[in-house]
A = this chain, B = another copy of it.
Amino acid sequence: MHKVATPLLLKKERQDFIIKELNLHNKVLSSDLCSQLNVSEDTIRRDLNELAESGKLVKVHGGALSVSYSGNSSEDVVYAREQKLIIAKKAVSLIQDGMLILTSGGTTLREVIKLLPKDLNATFCTVSLMTAEELLKHPNIEVIFIGGKLSKDAKISVGGDSILKLSEMSFDLCMVGTNGIDAKFGVTDSDLEVVQVKKAMIRASKKIVVLSISEKLNTVCRGGICKPNEIDYLITELDNHAPELASYHQAGIKLL
């Protein structure tokens, strides 16, 4: 005759909590969870099993790790590559011979660079090591790197030097990947050093193109980069009649 106490939280809430913890710390211990959530080890274990089943985390003895973290070993796989390829194709259509284009970093931008036509004659400017390396593979593209202190995480130039340099230049087009994009708050990022640089990038460019997989739509991070009315184009993998994009269209952003 077992007593089963009414849980304080529903299963879904518990699992959401676990995911949140994981996003925050990249790891959770079963023991911590069951004291925080006031449930038995078994329940936690079953939750972890379910979440692992659907690929939301990686289970290990004693707890779980976030998928992004656990995948540091062979990171040749790009997250959501399919979507990013669609985005890249659309982005390429905006680029024309003779343009002076400024680009940020990120794997989406890399896909864009990879898809650039071989005979394109243009000048690209970037703050990202990864983007620069990719650009150098194109024989007809002139590549300029905006120097400065390099950020360990984003692997882009940050700090005063980069911002100053950007302020002295003027670009036809600026392509930025995003961490957060929202119809009301615009483009945001959680890394404040990155925020400063991206703001400078946007100030330096005539046209702003924001690239984002739909998953990041309607997310807001701490640091504001630009308001919706500063964005000229928003490119996602979705069809531009998709309901998810309606609010952005209403905000005056062109969809592609």
In the complex, which of the residues B29, B70, B132, B149 contacts A12, with contact meaning CB atoms closer than 8 Å?
B70
A254 within 8 Å of B (CB atoms): no
Q: How many residues of A contact B (CB 8 A)?
A: 41
Residues in chain B near residue A165, CB distance under 8 A = 147
One of B27, B139, B142, B149 near A149 (C-beta < 8 A) = B142
Decide if B73 touches A12 in the complex (CB within 8 Å).
no
Find out whether the CB atom of A56 lies under 8 angstroms from the CB atom of B73. yes
Provide the main secondary structure of the chain A interface: mixed
Q: Does A150 contact B (CB under 8 A)?
A: yes
Cβ contact of A11, chosen from B16, B60, B129, cutoff 8 A? B60
Contact A136 B150 (CB under 8 A): yes
Query: A72 CA to B65 CA in the complex, in Å?
Result: 18
Selected from B10, B69, B149, the residue in CB contact (under 8 A) with A65 is B10
In A10-69, the 8 Å CB interface with B consists of: 10-13, 16, 19-20, 27, 29, 56, 58, 60-63, 65, 69
Complex Cα spacing A171 to B224, Å: 36
Contact flags (1/0) for A168-208 with B, using CB distance below 8 Å? 00000000000000000000000000000000000000000
Chain A residues 215 to 232 lying within 8 A of chain B, measured CB to CB, are none
A16 touches B72 (CB 8 A): yes
Is B148 a contact partner of A147 (Cβ separation < 8 A)? yes
Nearest CB of B to A73, in Å: 6
A interface residues (Cβ-Cβ under 8 A, vs B): 10-13, 16, 19-20, 27, 29, 56, 58, 60-63, 65, 69-70, 72-73, 129, 132-133, 135-136, 139, 142-150, 152, 155, 157, 161-162, 165
Q: 10 more A-B contacts (CB under 8 A) besides A10-B65, A133-B155, A136-B150?
A: A10-B29, A10-B62, A16-B70, A16-B73, A19-B73, A129-B145, A142-B149, A143-B150, A145-B145, A147-B157
